[in-house]
């Protein structure tokens, strides 16, 4: 039962992590304008995400514009977008594989050892997807920090972290934790070798001979 509980906990943590990754990838608040120095503020906040840039005006209006061309984007933004998409797709695939190998499902319930190996494989796939998302968020954050402290960057174009990158970070770590739980839920060989008890059927026959 303990092994099944660990699998369920890992599954739900990974599911919450994937939802966080999807939400973080869609939101445009990956970085927001940092008003430092004596700059003239024309908008309350300016956001830039993986798919669009938005400006929240002082009048309360939010105007967003989707990036027109992929080739015009920076290489760091293209890399982050690609890694996040790969991380989400791999994590969803790993969650599906792990679901087939969990003890609470009926798929292949006859072979418990094989189900455990399938769950472990799904956990490893989830780990790969989570690592892709962590690398994407860390790479994007590194570029934001480098541009912020670059003395040649204009004051009006400096950005700091937005809320979306923290949501994506949290989702990736939840995905990593859930994948680790599913990958570590494989039983030991001693536990698998306990069934079926083949020698128990010979004991009654031997006692009848002595009688």
Spell out the SS3 assignment of the chain: CHHHHHHHHHHHHHHHHHHHHHHHHHCCCCEEECCCCCCCCCCCEEEECCCEEEEECCCCCEEEEECCCCCCCCHHHHHHHHHHHHHHHHHHHHHHHHHHHCCCCCCCCCCHHHHHHHHHHHHHHHHHHHHHHHHHHHHHHHHHHHHHCCCCCCHHHCEEECHHHHHHHHHHHHHHHHHHHHHCCCCCHHHHCCCCCCHHHCHHHHHHHHC
In a domain, 211, yes or no: no
In a domain, 45, yes or no: no
In a domain, 178, yes or no: yes
In a domain, 18, yes or no: yes
| Domain containing residue 173 | 2-28+69-154+163-191
In a domain, 124, yes or no: yes
- Cα 209 from chain centroid (whole Å): 63
In a domain, 46, yes or no: no
- The confidence score (pLDDT) of residue 123 equals 92
- Are 81 and 144 contacting, i.e. CB atoms less than 8 angstroms apart? no
- In the chain, the number of structural domains is 1
In a domain, 55, yes or no: no
Q: What is the pLDDT along the chain (211 residues), one digit of tens a residue?
A: 447 788 889 999 999 999 999 999 999 999 988 765 555 455 577 888 999 988 877 777 778 888 887 777 888 889 999 999 999 999 999 999 988 877 766 665 666 778 788 888 999 999 999 999 999 999 999 999 998 888 887 777 788 898 999 999 999 999 999 999 988 876 555 444 444 555 544 545 444 444 4
In a domain, 49, yes or no: no
pTM of the model: 0.80
- The confidence score (pLDDT) of residue 108 equals 57
- The confidence score (pLDDT) of residue 37 equals 55
- The confidence score (pLDDT) of residue 71 equals 76
CATH code (residue 182): 1.20.140.150
- The confidence score (pLDDT) of residue 100 equals 86
- The confidence score (pLDDT) of residue 200 equals 47
CA distance 15 to 11: 6
Joined together, the tokens standing for residue 25 give 């990838």
């Amino acid at each position: 039962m303990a092994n099944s509980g660990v699998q369920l906990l890992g599954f739900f943590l990974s599911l919450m992590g994937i939802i966080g990754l999807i939400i973080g990838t869609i939101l445009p608040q990956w970085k927001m304008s940092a008003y430092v120095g004596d700059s003239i503020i024309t908008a309350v906040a300016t956001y830039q995400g993986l798919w669009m840039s938005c400006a929240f005006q002082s009048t309360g209006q939010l105007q967003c514009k989707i990036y027109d061309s992929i080739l015009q984007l920076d290489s760091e933004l293209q890399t982050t977008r690609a890694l996040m998409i790969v991380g989400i797709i791999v994590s969803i695939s790993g969650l599906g594989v792990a679901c087939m190998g969990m003890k609470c499902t009926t798929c292949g319930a006859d072979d418990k050892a094989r189900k455990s190996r399938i769950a472990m494989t799904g956990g490893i796939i989830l780990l790969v997807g989570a690592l892709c998302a962590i690398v994407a968020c860390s790479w994007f954050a590194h570029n934001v920090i480098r541009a912020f402290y670059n003395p040649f960057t204009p004051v009006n174009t400096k950005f700091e972290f937005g809320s979306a990158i923290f949501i994506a970070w949290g989702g990736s770590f939840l995905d990593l934790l859930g994948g680790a739980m599913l990958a570590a839920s494989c039983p030991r060989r001693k536990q698998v070798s306990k069934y079926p008890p083949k020698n128990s059927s010979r004991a009654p026959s031997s006692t009848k001979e002595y009688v």
